[in-house]
Structure 1
Amino acid sequence: MDTKLYLKPIDFSKFKLAPWAQSKFSLGKILEKNQLKLPLCKAEIVIVGVEEDRNAVTRGSAKAPNKIRQHLYSLNRISPRFKILDIGNIKVGKTVNDTYFAVRDVCGSLVEQGKTVVLLGGSQDLTFGITKAFKENSFNLVNVDPKFDFKKGVKTISSENYLNFIVEKQPNLYAQTILGYQNYFVDGLELDYVYEVGAEVKRLGEIRYDMVNIEPYLRDADVLSFDINAIRLLEAPAQYFGSPNGLYAEEACQIGHYAGMADQLKVAGFFNLIPRLDHDDLSSKLMAQVIWHFLEGFYHKKAETPSGDKENFNEFLLEIDDIDLPLTFYQSQKTGRWWMKITDEDDTREQIISCTEEDYRLAAQNEIPDRWWRNIRKLNRLAK
C-alpha cells in the first residue's frame, strides 16, 4: 500500500528552531536531511501526525501535531545516524470514521514493514483507529490516563469512551493496562467493570512509589496511548481535564523512556493536547520532551527475550504448593530485567511474559504473583 496517498508531507521551512538550539545538532535538522536521503524502507521509526478532534469532548487538539513538532525539532538529534523519518500528517477524512480507517491503514502498513510509529494527535479516540491495524494479530494496549475511558451503554465514540469500542470490537486485544489513574475520578462500579474486562490498573500513587515496576507493562505493550490529562495541570496547562494532581513532568518522561525501550512496541500515540489552552507553550514543550525520551529509549534499547537467547539468561525454577508445575523465571545477565513463563492448564500452550524482581521474590516465598494469575486466565481463555 502506498501510504503517501494518505499523507501531507512536512515543510520544514515553516518550523523555526528555538534561539538556544544548535541547528546542526537538532532533531529537526536530521529529520529534514533524512526526508531527502533516507528511504522509508530503511527507516526504523516514523513520526506521523493526525489533525483530528471531531469526536473530542473538548475540541482544539487538532492543532497539536505541528505545535509539538515546533518544539520537538529543537531538541537534540540523539544520534547523527538515527534512522528516523517524519512523513507528515494524515489527511483528515470527510468523516471521523474515514480518519480512523486512514490511521488504521497507515499504521498497519508501517508496522507490517517493521517500523515503529510515533503518532501525534489529535484526540485520544484515535487510539481506536490504531488498534484497527491489529486485525490479524493479538496486541497489548497500555493507556496512561487519569481515569478510565469507559462509558457503559454508549453508541457514539468519543475521547472519553473509546475504550468501549476497542474492548467490544477488537477481538485481538489480549491485554490492557491503565497507568496513572486517580482514585477520586473512578467509581467502584467502574473499577469492577475494568476488572471484568480483564484490564490491569495502576494508581498514580503506585507508580510514584516505584516507577521501575511499571516497566514490564510497557515492555510487553504493542500500543501506547498517552493522554496529556494524566499530567498535573501546573506542568501541562493545555488540557481540558485540569487536575491539580497527576504525573510530574519527570515521571511522564520516564514513562516515555520505558515505552521507547519496549521490545515489541509498535505504535505510540500522544493525545489531547489543546494548544489554545497552553501558557508559554509549556505543554507542547513537555509533550515534545516526553516524545524525545521515547525516541532516546528506542535508539538505545536492547531487545532481548529468554525464548531466543537462553545463554544470556539466568533460569530459576520455583516449586509452589498450589501449582503442579514449577514456576519458571528468567533474569537477563545484561540488563537485569525479569520474565516468567506461564503454561495453560492442558500444558499445550506457553508464553513468556515480562515481570519484576518482586514477582520472583513473592514466588520464592511460596506466594503466587498476581501477574501469573492474570496471565494464566488469559492463556486458558485463548486455549479454549
Structure 2
Amino acid sequence: MSETNIKLYLKPVDFSKFKAAPWVQSKFSLGKILEKNQAKLPLDKADIVLIGIEEDRNAVERGSAKAPNKIRQYLYHLNRISPRFKILDLGNIKVGKTANDSYFALRDVCNSLVAQGKMVVVLGGSQDLTFGITKAFEEDPFNLVNIDPKFDFKKGIKTINSESYLNFIIEKQPNLYSQTILGYQNYFVDGLELDHSYELGSELKRLGEIRYDMSHIEPYMRDADVLSFDINAIRLLEAPAQYFGSPNGLYAEEACQIGHYAGMADHLKVAGFFNLIPRLDRDDLSSKLMAQVIWHLLEGFYFRKIEAPGSKREDFNEFLLEIDDIDLPLTFYQSHKTGRWWMKISDEEDSREQIISCTEEDYRMAAQNEIPDRWWKNIRKLNRMQNK
C-alpha cells in the first residue's frame, strides 16, 4: 500500500489543538518535533510512526475512544529525545461503520507500515483492537506479548470484546507462534483458565514474578512482534482512568520500564496501548502516565541496538553445554556489547533451528545439568508450528 493510500485511512493531527502547558519548553518538546516532521519528513524516511484509533464499540466499558488525543496532549509536552529523531504522528485512523471495519482498517495500516520497515505505536481505543493488529501478520509467524492483570480469553465465547479478543487471535491466527501474558494477578484467574493457557502453550508471568526481577521480562520483549498494553495492569492509585480498578498492579515506574524494554526490543513491530477511559481519570493522571510509558518506549527505540548471534559471531561468546537428557549440546550466546543472552533450539528432526532470547539464569541452569523451562516451551512451540 502506498503512502497516498495510507493517508486515505487517516485524519492528520491538528497540532493547534494541543496547547503547551506553561512549564513546557516548547522548542525542546516532542510535540514541536512531531509538528515539524509532519510538514517536512516523508514517510519513507521515518523510523517509527504513531497512529491513534478512536474505537471502543466492543469495549465492556465505553469511553476509551477519547483516549488517543488525550494521551497526545501530554506526550507532546514531554521533552524531545533527539532533535533528529525520525518519528511521525500520522493522526487517527478513520473509524468505520462497524468495529469490524475499524479492525480491518487497522490491519491494513499496520500491514503497510510494517512492510515498509516502520515500527508502529497504536494509541487506543479498547484492547480488542489487538485483534486488528494481529491480522496484519497473517503471512508470517509472530509473537504476542500482553501486559494484563488477567486472561482476556473466555472459552466458548463467540463474540469479540475487550475481554475476549484473545479467543479470536488464538483460534483464528494460525501464525501465532507465541503468546505471553506478563503481570497477571492470580486472584483474577481461575485454575481452569491457567490449565487451558498452559495447554495452549502460553507463557505466563505473575505480577510478583516480574516485580522480583524486572529484567526477566526483557527476553520476552526482545522476541515480541506485537505488544498489547492494558492500562488495567497498573494499580488504580496511579492510573484511575480504568474500569477494572484493582488496588494492586504495576507501579508507574515499572510500567515505564516495560515501555523502555519494548522500545529496545529487536523485533517489536507494533505496540498498542489500550483501555484508558478519560472520563474516569483524576487530574489526567492516567493520560500523563501513559504518555510517559510511550515516551520511554520511544527513547528505548532511539537507543536500541539490533544484534543477532547468527550475524557477527566475533561479537558474541558461544557456550556449548552437555546435558544428560538431551542428545545434542545446548548452545548459548552472550553479546560482548550488551551482555544479553540467547539460546539455540531445533525441532524433533533437527531440520529447523531457531535462536531465541533467554536470560543468564537459563544458562546457569543448563550449566548445572538442568534443562531450562524456556527451552522445553520453545521446543514444543517449534514442533507445533512445524506440524501445522
Same fold (TM over 0.5): yes
2:73 matched to 1:70? Answer: yes
CA–CA separation in structure 1 for the residues paired with 2:203 and 2:323: 24
What does residue range 1-384 of structure 1 map to in structure 2 within 5 Å? Answer: 1=1, 2-384=5-387
Which TM-score applies when normalising by structure 1?
1.00
Give the letter for the 1:379 counterpart: L
Runs of 4+ aligned residues of structure 1 deviating over 4 Å after TM superposition are: none
- Separation (CA, whole Å) in 2 of partners of 1:18 and 1:192: 49
Following the alignment from structure 2 to structure 1, what is the Cα–Cα distance between the partners of residues 281 and 218? 30
3-state SS of paired residue (1:140): strand
Question: Contact (CA 8 Å) 1:18, 1:71: kept in 2 or not?
Answer: no
Code of the aligned partner of 1:197: L
CA RMSD for the aligned pairs? 0.5
Query: What is the one-letter code of the residue matched to 2:164?
Result: N
Alpha-carbon distance in structure 1 between the residues aligned to 2:102 and 2:21: 32
Task: Output the amino acid matched with 1:4.
Answer: K
What letter corresponds to residue 27 of structure 1 in structure 2?
Answer: L
**Maintained 8 Å contact 1:238/1:273:** yes
Deviation at 1:218? 0.3
Instruction: Say how many residue pairs are matched.
Output: 384
For 1:275 and 1:196, how far apart are their aligned partners in 2?
Answer: 37
Aligned residue identity for 1:381:
R
Deviations 1:90-138 (A, max 9, x none): 0000001000000000000000000000000000000000000001011
**TM-fit CA distance, 1:309:** 1.4
Q: For residue 28 of structure 2, what is the amino acid of its counterpart?
A: F
Shift of 1:246: 0.1
- In structure 1, what is the Cα distance between the partners aligned to 2:47 and 2:264? 13
Give the secondary-structure state (helix, strand or coil) at the position aligned to 1:382. Answer: helix
Deviation at 1:380, TM superposition (A): 1.6
TM-score, normalisation: structure 2: 0.99
Counterpart of 1:293 in 2: which secondary structure? helix
What letter corresponds to residue 52 of structure 1 in structure 2? Answer: E
- In 1, distance between residues paired with 2:121 and 2:386? 33
How far apart in 2 are the matches of 1:327 and 1:21? Answer: 53
In structure 2, C-alpha distance between the alignment counterparts of 1:4 and 1:67, rounded to whole Å: 22
Distance in 1 separating the partners of 2:168 and 2:312: 38
| Structure 1: runs of 5 or more not aligned | none
Query: For the residues of structure 2 that align with 1:18 and 1:360, how far apart are their CA atoms?
Result: 49
Alpha-carbon distance, 1:383 to partner: 2.4
CA distance in 2 between partners of 1:167 and 1:276 (Å): 32
Superposition deviation, residue 232 in structure 1: 0.1
Measured in 2, the distance between the counterparts of 1:382 and 1:66 equals 40
Deviations along 1:2-51, whole A, 9 cap, x unmatched?
A: 10110000010110112111011100000000001100000000000000
Provide, for residues 133-169 of structure 1, a one-character-per-residue CA deviation record: whole Å limited to 9, x for no partner: 0010110000000000011111110000000000011
Percent sequence identity is 84
Looking at structure 1, the residues matched to 68 and 162 of structure 2 have their Cα atoms a distance apart, in angstroms, of 17
